[in-house]
Each structure stands twice: as C-alpha cells, then as structure tokens.
Structure 1
Amino acid sequence: MVFSVKTFNNINPIGLKELGNAFQIDGDKADNPDAFVLRSQNLHETTFPEQLKAIARAGAGTNNIPVDAASAQGIVVFNTPGANANAVKEAVLTSILLTARDYLAANRWVNQLTGADVPQQVEAGKKQFAGSEIANKTLGVIGLGAIGGRIANDAYRLGMNVLGYDPYVSIETAWNISSHVKRVDDIKEIFAQSDYITIHVPLTDDTRQVIDQSAFDLMQKGTTIINFARGELVDNQALFEAIEAGVIKRYITDFGTEDLLNREQITVFPHLGGSTEEAEVNCAIMAAKTVRRFLETGEIINSVNFPNVRQALAAPYRITLINKNVPNIVARISTAVSDLNINIDNIINRSKGDYAYTLLDLDETDQQKIQDLVAKFEASENIIRVRLIRNKNKK
C-alpha cells in the first residue's frame, strides 16, 4: 500500500526521506492525502480531506492547527517535542548574555561613530555599556520540558542560580534536570526572586497572559523577561506599564506584534528560536518517522490529541479504532469480535479527554470475517474512525 503525504511550507528533504518507498510525497497538490506534514501553515480555515488520518507539525507548537476539529474527525495530530530544543535553548542563553551586557545597543552606538579619532571616542563612551555578569544572578524557568530543562541545566553551568517551576513535568524529564536546579511549587516565587525569567509552556486558556499585572507587581526592579514560547503568554499592556515603572529592564521575544516594535527596552526577533539548519532537519525527521510509524503500524507517539499507544504487531491483522471515550467500550469491542468467532491476540485501549484509541490485534486469517468486523465497527455510533492494517510479515 502506498500512502499519500501532502506537505506545506519547506519541509527538509532529508527528513522526508524517512518516509520510505511506501509513501508518495505530493507537495501541496494532493487532493485526498493520508497525512499532512507542515511547519507554520495555518489550517484553521482548511477543510480536511476525507482520507486524512494524520497531521504532523514539524515543531512543538500546534496553535496553527484546529486540534479539536481534527479530533472530532478522528485525525491524529502529532508534534515534534524536543527536536528544536537545543536551538531554542541557545537562543535564550544568547538573549540573556545580550541583555546583561547590552551588546546590541553597544554595536548600534559604535557604528554611528565617525572620524580618525574613533578609538578615542570608543574609550570615552564605552562606560555606558558596562553591563553586568550573569554569574550569581537568578534565572527563573517557567516550564521544565525539553527546552526549559536544557536551559535550566546550562544556566547553572554558567554560574547562575536557577529556579524552576513546572507542576506537570514528566518523570522522564525530571531525571534529566540537574539537582542544582531548585524546584519551586508556586510560580509567584519565580516572579519575586528572579533577575531573569524565561517561559516555556504551551499556550492554553490557563497559560494565556500568565505574566500579567499581578505577576509584574511581584517582580523586583530591573527584571528581564525572555519569551521564546508564545507571544500571548505575556500581557503587553501590563508589560509596557512595568517597563515605564522600571520593573522590567528588558523584554526579549521571538513573537513580533506591531505594538512591540520600535520600543527602546523591547527586543523583538522574527521567530528565529528554532530556525537552525539542524533543528529543521531534526523536526522533519521526527515528523516523518512519526507519520510513517502511525500509518504503517497504527502506533501513536507524540500526539497532542490522542494518547501514546505502542504494541508490537505479531498477529495477522490489526484494527485501530478511534472512539468516543464512553463507558464499556472495550467490552463492546470484545463482544463484537467474539460474535464473529474471532480470537483476540492482543488489545490495548487508552483514553485522552473525550476520545480513546484502541489497537486490536486479531489471530484470524479469514479475510471475510475481518471485513465483516470492520463493517460492524464502522456502523457503531461511538466509533469515529476504523483502520485495518495487515501484518506484512504474516502470510
């Protein structure tokens, strides 16, 4: 079976090679593809094709994808957490160093000098850019995921005192965070104790404008905020007032809006955090591998709307079910299989929010029975999407 993949934006070709020979990459011309692979393309006004099964975002954020609409249609949305983490980490650490010594302003100033006595002018004027060192300063990291955890570790190695806040940090991530990073249970401690604050959380209803007037009220004068996550995490109007009051020394962000531009104490970058050659390759490779694994085996890894599900396929057939998360669904599935006198080799069911995902491996070679079971599932009002996968290693 050949799967069709529609790509948006410039997806690195090295990554797309990971799809293998069973995939036909149709650029942006495919009418009814099995999968989308994209970077920043806005899909909120897009009508999803009937055959579409997966959307893979080559990056961490999925705000450009209508995830709820995709879920309702049984489309699995993937992202690539950690693929650009090192690039963003380096961008944040660079920003900390830039603002500590005000290198950007110093560069602008020196390039305005003229005359044969430029060296003398430099010596006379350089004191205004003396700056400070970051050693022994306190960095508050909000969000200790793939990016925040790396920043916390490396900032400590640069001599900073590091506070970390993340009530949802995974066990796997926690193991990778240095014991020298002090975990705090209240985000207010980050606001009150930090010289520098960097934020690395997804944009949700709970995190929107998490840095607001009440947060600025807790901060000490001369605080620097760095935002390479999402612009909407900061209340811009409250930010302007905090700058005017001297609470915020500098705000550095990777998300430009018109009201942030051309302000002396605000530095805006054009969404460059993850824009390195290495990060683009890593994101494309991870996105392609994720799509391939899902379409060929039904396994889900790094989905934002469905649970991660892994199960080795040893049986002749696998049926995957995306269903509403309703009571007794596994029992109903088992009964449907039993009614056709089919033996279940393995079954795994995981839920996430309003939906659940089932891998059903069947020890059965009678194709008519399998097709009858698929039809039975497709007729169920609680099952949104049914896929049949044949084990190529079983004759």
Structure 2
Amino acid sequence: MFQVKTFNAIAQVGLDSFTNNYAVNQTDAADAYLIRSVDLHGATLPAALKVIARAGAGFNNIPLDLATANGTAVFNTPGSNANAVKELVITMLVAAARNVFAAAEYAGHNSGADISTRTEHDKTKFNGTELMGKTLAVIGVGHVGALVAHAASDMGMKVVGYDPYLSADDAWHIPTSTVRARTLAVALANADYVTVHVPKNEETTGMISTAELAMMRPDSVLLNFARGGIVDNKAVVHALDEGRLRQYLTDFGDDVILGRDDVVVTPHIGGSTLEAEANGAVQGAQTIMSFLETGNVNHSVNLPTLQVPFTTQYRLTLMHQNKPNMVGQIATMLAQRGINIEGMSNAARDDVAYSIIDVNQFTGAQDAELLGKLKQIDAVYRVRLLRRPEPQVI
C-alpha cells in the first residue's frame, strides 16, 4: 500500500484516480506528496518520500536541491492549466485594448437622471483600439504560449514568438503564421502587446527589466501571467512614469505596482478554473502512480526523462549523482551475485542521473543484501526494487 499526502485542496476527481493500492492522508511519512501551491521551502521531507507531484506547471515552491538529496523525484503537470491561462490572457488583451476596466469603473460610479447624456458625452474618453492587425510578441511558446499564439492569430493579430529553448515537440503546436524572432530584442521591438510565458528560474528572473523595456514601443502593453519576478516591477513603474510603457497587466501582486490606474493586477487566478484544477489533480495522481509502480520518468523537474517498458519480473531504479563509472559499479554488483541484466537504461540531467535495470531472477535473500550495498555507494540518493504490476481487471 502506497501512502499519499495532499496539501491545499486537491480536486476530488484527482483523488478518485488513485487505485486501491493507495491510501490518502493516512500518515505524514508518505511515499508521495500531491500538492498545489504550498511552500515546501524550509520543510523537512520524510525519508520515505519518493515523489512530489505538483498539480500545475510552476514548481518554485519546491526545494529541488533538498528533494534531490532526499532521493525524491519532483514532477509538475505541464499543460494541465494551459487553456485556463490562455483564456485569461486573451481576456486581458481585449480588456486592455478596449479600456474595459476604466470604463466599468466610470460606469459603476455614475448614476442619476442625466446618466445617459453624461455617458454619451464621456464615453469618448474610453475609446479603444481593435486587436486585429496589431502585433503580439509571445515570449515563451510552450504549452501556454502556443495556445495564446493560436488564439491571437485567430483574432487577426500578427504574432511574433521568441523562445531560445523551444523543443521539437513544442514547435509542432505553434501556428505556422507565427514569426519566430531570433532574439528577444527583435521580438520586443515592434510589438503593440508583449505577453510572457516562461518558467521562473535563475535565468528568467528579471527577464523583462530596464533594458528590455527600453526596447519596447512607448505605447505598448505588457502582460505577465507566467510567474511573479520574471518582470522587474520597479523597472515597469519607472517606465510607466516616464511614458515608455502604456499599461501593465499581471496575475502577481506587489506593493510596488498597486494603486495605479495604468496597472491591472489579478489575484493569481490564471489556472483557477474547475477544469484546470481537475486536470492538474488527475495528471498529478497518474504521475505518482506511474513513477511508484514502474519507475518511469516523464515531466520531472529534477530527473532526466527515462521511459522503458516494464516487461521483466523485477526492476531496480537508482537515483544518483552523474559521475563516471556509476553504471559500471552497479552492473558489477549484480554480476558478482549472478544476477543477469535483461535491460539497462541510464540518463542524466545536469548533476543528477537515473538508472533503470530490468531483471527476471531475484531471490528474497538477494533483495536486502544487494539493496543495502547499492545504498552504501556515496553517490546514490535512492534505490528501489519494483515488481512488475499485475494487470488490472475490470
């Protein structure tokens, strides 16, 4: 029986995805965490914790170094809330173009017998522009960015995409009409609207700051519905004050940008739809079950992708440092015990490596002795012995 602990409110449909081999919230010493936005920095991770699944794309609330040292694989659920974020971004694009927020604020504070006359006179103050024919720069064209590019193209916008880390898989999802910019400066130069859709990390923190804002047109509008900190808010305020930026719309509050007519802040609602929460919960549950039962890795943020069909009776998985002769040491230990390797796969991601070893012959006596020896290798974070799952009968 695997133990799962949840944090935050996890959609019931996700919890219902777990099979009878799983118990939810029965112990703190869990095999798996299924979380959303809970901040695990400073938390003590139990030794039993093998996997953390984040129901959502962001994972900056998880201490990756601590998790890796604990032998804990960390996963996110990319794409689960992509449509929700896309719809909010398109909503904000339209609202910015048509001055919807200012117009609604005006209408909400005006009443009386002459309201029709005054509204007819004053409405010209809220004249907007149409999005058709305008240029949108999409910075980051992964799951969300590609959807935004499609929707903007459908509305007749000219879309320029910039993403130096664009994968071959992601490239298939970008509209053919999207012009790919070779540099960030080229993407920003002629854009009427700029929307940011990159993950937050050391490289992207402050990605849009003073220098980048200076590359943009003074009447342009900037949107950040990716992560707080990717846009330098102090630099944005300075640009707004100097008339070098028309408006800023973001999903991430900050005292620096509050109380301004040229800034619209929403309370981190990009992925807050019933559908997105359900998608993330189900995908997170499926990720946990796949990793615990097969050892396969996909969409991990601290391990390399490694997926191997589980066709043998047993499988050893090792999470370890990416050092020379690690695979050799492991294979030698098995050979010394007369264990024939049916298949062996290894992959690395920066300083972390992951190995899958498939075998058919494995005795009970060998279990404890071999696992103990493998765990004693200094560079090994975690060793697991898996038995091939029984086919489900319905």
Other-structure match for 2:120 = 123
Identify the match of residue 51 of structure 2 among 42, 50, 54: 54
1:345 Cα offset (Å): 1.1
Counterpart secondary structure, 1:24? strand
The residue identity in structure 2 corresponding to 1:283 is: G
The residue identity in structure 1 corresponding to 2:23 is: Q
Deviation string 1:327-374 (CA, Å, 9 cap, x unpaired) is 121122111111111111111111111111111111204222343322
The residue identity in structure 2 corresponding to 1:86 is: N
Deviation string 1:146-190 (CA, Å, 9 cap, x unpaired) is 000111111111100000000111111101111100001100012
Other-structure match for 1:219 = 216
1:393 Cα offset (Å): 4.1
The residue identity in structure 2 corresponding to 1:19 is: F
Across the two proteins, how many residue pairs are aligned to each other? 391
Identify the match of residue 198 of structure 1 among 195, 198, 202: 195
| Contact 2:68–2:381 under 8 Å retained in 1 | no
Counterpart secondary structure, 1:176? coil
| 1:188 aligned onto 2:185 | yes
Cα 1:392–1:109 shift into 2, 3 Å: closer
Residues in 2 aligned to 1:178 and 1:122: alpha-carbon distance in whole angstroms: 41
Residues in 1 aligned to 2:108 and 2:19: alpha-carbon distance in whole angstroms: 51
Residues in 1 aligned to 2:296 and 2:10: alpha-carbon distance in whole angstroms: 23
Deviation string 1:181-206 (CA, Å, 9 cap, x unpaired) is 00011000122111100001111111
Identify the match of residue 331 of structure 1 among 328, 331, 336: 328
Residues in 2 aligned to 1:299 and 1:327: alpha-carbon distance in whole angstroms: 23
Other-structure match for 1:233 = 230
Counterpart secondary structure, 2:16? helix
Identify the match of residue 390 of structure 1 among 375, 387, 390: 387
Other-structure match for 1:161 = 158
The correspondence of residues 81-100 of structure 1 with structure 2, limited to 5 A, is 81-100=78-97
| 1:24 aligned onto 2:23 | yes
Residues in 1 aligned to 2:53 and 2:179: alpha-carbon distance in whole angstroms: 35
The correspondence of residues 1-395 of structure 1 with structure 2, limited to 5 A, is 2-26=1-25, 30-393=27-390
Q: TM-score, normalised by structure 2?
A: 0.97
1:9 Cα offset (Å): 0.3
Deviation string 1:282-310 (CA, Å, 9 cap, x unpaired) is 00000000001111111111100001111
In angstroms, what is the RMSD of aligned CA positions?
1.2
The residue identity in structure 2 corresponding to 1:68 is: D
1:133 Cα offset (Å): 0.2
| Contact 2:97–2:128 under 8 Å retained in 1 | yes
Residues in 2 aligned to 1:393 and 1:262: alpha-carbon distance in whole angstroms: 59
Unaligned runs of 5+ in 2: none
1:108 Cα offset (Å): 0.9
Residues in 2 aligned to 1:48 and 1:243: alpha-carbon distance in whole angstroms: 44
Counterpart secondary structure, 2:17? helix
The residue identity in structure 1 corresponding to 2:68 is: S
Residues in 2 aligned to 1:226 and 1:30: alpha-carbon distance in whole angstroms: 42
1:263 Cα offset (Å): 0.8
| Contact 2:237–2:256 under 8 Å retained in 1 | no
Counterpart secondary structure, 2:301? coil
1:41 Cα offset (Å): 0.4
1:217 Cα offset (Å): 1.2
Residues in 2 aligned to 1:205 and 1:106: alpha-carbon distance in whole angstroms: 39
* Range with bigger deviation, 328-337 or 35-44: 328-337
The residue identity in structure 1 corresponding to 2:114 is: D
| Contact 2:35–2:55 under 8 Å retained in 1 | yes
The residue identity in structure 1 corresponding to 2:233 is: N
Counterpart secondary structure, 1:71? helix
Counterpart secondary structure, 1:233? coil
Unaligned runs of 5+ in 1: none
